[in-house]
Chains A and B, each alone.
Chain A
Amino acid sequence: MIDADTTPLAGLRFTHLDKPLWPPGPGADHAATTKSDYLAYLQAVAPYALPHLCRRPLVLTRYPHGADGASFFQKNLPPGAPAWLPHFTDPHATAEGRHVRYLVAQAPADLLWVGQQVALEFHPWLSTQDAPDLPDRAVVDLDPMAPAGFEEARAVARLVWDILRAAGVRSWPKTSGATGLHCFIPIHPGQGYPEVAAVLRGLGELLLHLWPERVTLERAVARRGGRVYFDYLQNARGKTLCAAYSPRPLAGAPVSMPFPWEDLARVRPADWTVRTVPARLAERGDAWADLPGAPPQNLRALARLCEETRPPSPSLQRRGFTST
């Protein structure tokens, strides 16, 4: 019999396994999601999640009292962290002159440490430790503002997909785990974050032009008014969307779930939780399996398309985007 509180694992001990971390979701037929559920989840999804975290500094959100309690960001590895955890020291010093040591997860054990820390979200950088200032991912972040919800985000995502395909750009979508959608585009790490953000801003302006009732680029939350916020500013150093397969601190322990674009019309974010995702992955594998090895996409073609299609071309108008 293993005693949960005393087994030393090279400086890592798994404790409080019965602790409930997430309250049950609405209409759920099961109890809270516990820490042992979470550790088992991390163990099961590590082979699918790790390729997308490869060489990326991680920011963690810790919820020491569970998803309902207070939270804080953790960038720097704490003093008690096991010595064997792989890490990256940011060459840029903070305002206080310190150099932050980030976790860079490589093996399942590293994610298990994340679980033991009760970090309920993990956020990878959009650049790797090899070129921290040159992003190799561009992201589309669609965040519906209530009363808009996932259906509105889904409709805008459909338009995003059409535009990206029209530009010849391949992209990889996932649910945000809440009501939004994220879409990742692999790019050549040869330009800074501001340049990437400028291209994504162009895409946002095109969306706004095509569908002003549905899309907003407003930075002031109060003025976003029930529309889908297109957050191109996520393309910034140190800004991080949650990782593929990261859970979110919401009732029912929902997970940010990659899916193929073809499934957009039928994907249901609430289906993917810490409890359900491992079986789905075992059955279907990682919908993003081809992302790590995919060639960099042509961001310039996207910039050109957005430039040329404003005001929108008739071909985009004709497709009935305005029906709900």
Chain B
Amino acid sequence: MRSLWKGAISFGLVHIPCRLYPATEDHDLHFRQLHRACHAPIEYHKVCPQCGDRLAADDIVRGVEVAPGEFVLIEDADLEEMPLATTHTVEIEGFVDLGAVDPLFFEKPYLVGPADGGARPYALLRAVLLRTQRAAVAKVAIRTKESLALLRVVGDCLVLELMRYPDEIRDWHDVDGLPGEVALPERELAVATLLVERLTGPWRPDQYQDNYRGALQTLIERRALGERVSAAPGPDRAETRHADLLAALEASVAAATAQRAQGQAEHQ
């Protein structure tokens, strides 16, 4: 597996060289957008609505709207000077009980593998987290962003859960119409509880698949057999293309030879 980050977990005197691997992969089908008339994949262009100009990357600058129509510009150089942690370290700040952190905080999981020389301290941290049923709270910088993270054990592996900061999580009090205490008849509660018990079993994630994706895949396979769409030019177009190219190449050669013949004539 290809790691996307190499660094170390550190706490106190313990230093664990490690690598991070994405823990998830995207299996979504991605559609291309084509011109309905000729089936060429369309392109996106960035256009200035004021000047109508098509813009290159160089023409574009970051801005933040501080008042209506008033922007503060931020250049790459400004961002480079930001005081961001660039060290490749998972800095453990403390430990909490496993289950004390609500899943709302979890943003993106990474698998953690030991790097050269890391196997023993890796095994030590894993054993301690298992024995104490704790998870480690850590700070980590991935790319340019410093994140809060939780380090916990899954199987034989340490997993780093990138977490959202508390101020990124909305307060449930803001949800409209939440019922407070409601008097519920005991009979209703008992029946509902029985139903829940019946439907309760071990967590078997392999029972669940993406049915929508399966149906879409079937549709695509059927289409591919029947009506294939293609933007490949027919033989006629290839011929005109060659004719155009040859005319252009000819002109280049003619220009060079004529110029050199003239140069020689002037020389003599």
Residues on A facing B (Cβ under 8 Å): 1-2, 4, 7, 9-10, 12, 14, 17-18, 36, 39-40, 43, 46, 82, 84, 86, 106-110, 112, 283-284, 320, 323-324
Interface residues of B in 216-266 (CB under 8 A from A): 238-239, 241-243, 245-250, 252-257, 259-261
Which residue of the partner chain, among B56, B86, B247, contacts A320 with CB atoms under 8 Å? B86
Known: A84-B260, A284-B58, A320-B86. A107 touches B255 (CB 8 A): yes
Task: Please indicate which of the listed interface residues A10, A43, A46, A82 has the most CB atoms of chain B within 10 Å of its own CB.
Answer: A10
Instruction: Give 14 new A-B contacts, CB below 8 A, not counting A2-B246, A2-B247.
Output: A1-B239, A2-B250, A4-B246, A9-B253, A14-B246, A39-B249, A40-B245, A84-B261, A86-B260, A108-B252, A108-B256, A109-B252, A284-B56, A320-B87
* Pairwise interchain contact A107-B247, C-beta atoms closer than 8 A: no
* Pairwise interchain contact A43-B250, C-beta atoms closer than 8 A: no
* Pairwise interchain contact A1-B256, C-beta atoms closer than 8 A: no
In the complex the two chains form, what is the Cα distance from A324 to B17 in whole Å?
A: 12
Report the number of A-B residue pairs with Cβ-Cβ less than 8 Å: 72
Interface residues of B in 55-99 (CB under 8 A from A): 56, 58, 86-88
Q: What's the dominant secondary structure at chain B's contact region? A: helix
B121 at the binding interface (Cβ < 8 Å): no
Name the B residues within 8 Å of A2 (CB-CB): 242-243, 246-247, 250
Name the B residues within 8 Å of A17 (CB-CB): 242, 245-246
Q: How far is the CB of B258 from chain A (nearest CB, A)?
A: 9
* Pairwise interchain contact B242-A112, C-beta atoms closer than 8 A: no
Q: What's the dominant secondary structure at chain A's contact region? A: loop
Chain B's interface size range is 20 to 34
Residues on B facing A (Cβ under 8 Å): 6-7, 56, 58, 86-88, 238-239, 241-243, 245-250, 252-257, 259-261
* Pairwise interchain contact B256-A323, C-beta atoms closer than 8 A: no
Name the B residues within 8 Å of A40 (CB-CB): 245, 248
List the A residue with the shortest CB-CB distance to B248: A43
Which residue of the partner chain, among B88, B249, B254, B255, contacts A324 with CB atoms under 8 Å? B88
In the complex the two chains form, what is the Cα distance from A320 to B252 in whole Å?
A: 51
Q: Nearest 3 pairs between A and B by C-beta? A: A109-B256, A107-B256, A109-B253
Q: How far is the CB of A200 from chain B (nearest CB, A)?
A: 29
In the complex the two chains form, what is the Cα distance from A148 to B239 in whole Å?
A: 44
Task: Please indicate which of the listed interface residues A4, A40, A109 has the most CB atoms of chain B within 10 Å of its own CB.
Answer: A109
In the complex the two chains form, what is the Cα distance from A84 to B262 in whole Å?
A: 12
* Pairwise interchain contact B249-A43, C-beta atoms closer than 8 A: yes
Name the A residues within 8 Å of B243 (CB-CB): 1-2
* Pairwise interchain contact B246-A43, C-beta atoms closer than 8 A: no
30 contacts between A and B (CB under 8 A): A2-B242, A2-B243, A2-B247, A2-B250, A7-B246, A7-B250, A9-B254, A14-B249, A17-B245, A18-B238, A36-B241, A36-B245, A40-B245, A40-B248, A82-B257, A84-B260, A106-B256, A107-B252, A107-B255, A108-B252, A108-B255, A109-B256, A109-B257, A110-B256, A112-B252, A323-B7, A323-B87, A323-B88, A324-B7, A324-B88
